[in-house]
Amino acid sequence: MSAIARVLVGAFALVGVAYVALMLFFFSGGTAQNPVCLTYPVMEVASPDGAYRATVENSSCKGGELWTSVDLLQVTSAGVGKEFERIFESPSASRSDAGSYSPLQLRLTWLSATELQIRYPRGTKVSSRTEIAGGVRVAYVETDAFAP
């Protein structure tokens, strides 16, 4: 094989290895800063006038991280979401050594068209919470266990 053919084969082999490496990187979930998560809605509560919706979601990420979050969505006149903002986020509690899991119990109550109350169990490790979002005032209340 000539020297030019060896260089061309080597160059194509190098491009092939780089391509395979990139494919493995993207299909494995990217980087540790952006883990692949499975997110599912738990409940959605509309404001009294229907202008806003608060949505509770649970997320399960690679590495066993479990999160509960509340998102606030402003609704347009066509009933489609306009703006969305995460207003509450916390690691989901009650994971036992035996492998059982109990999601974080939240209670969302609209006190008026522009005031939302989020109640969560005492001792919850809250990682973020927003007091005002998109014209809605959010009140947080730590509480003992909820009655049925």
Closest CA to 53 of 78, 89, 85, 91: 85
User: Dihedral of CA 7/8/11/13: which sign?
Assistant: negative
119-52-115 Cα angle (round to 5): 45
CA dihedral 32, 124, 58, 27 (to 10 degrees): 10
DSSP 27-46: HTTS-TTS--EEEEEEEEEE
Structure tokens at 134: 């998109």
Q: How far apart are CA 31 and CA 142, in angstroms?
A: 35
105 secondary structure, DSSP code: -
Closest CA to 67 of 44, 98, 101: 101
Cβ count within 10 A of residue 141: 11
- At 30 the three-state DSSP class reads coil
93 secondary structure, DSSP code: -
- Per-block mean pLDDT, blocks of 10 residues, the chain (148 long): 78 70 66 69 93 90 80 79 81 64 86 94 84 89 74
pLDDT at 21: 72
Q: Locate the domains of the chain by residue range.
A: 1-32, 37-143
Residue with tokens 């060896």: 6
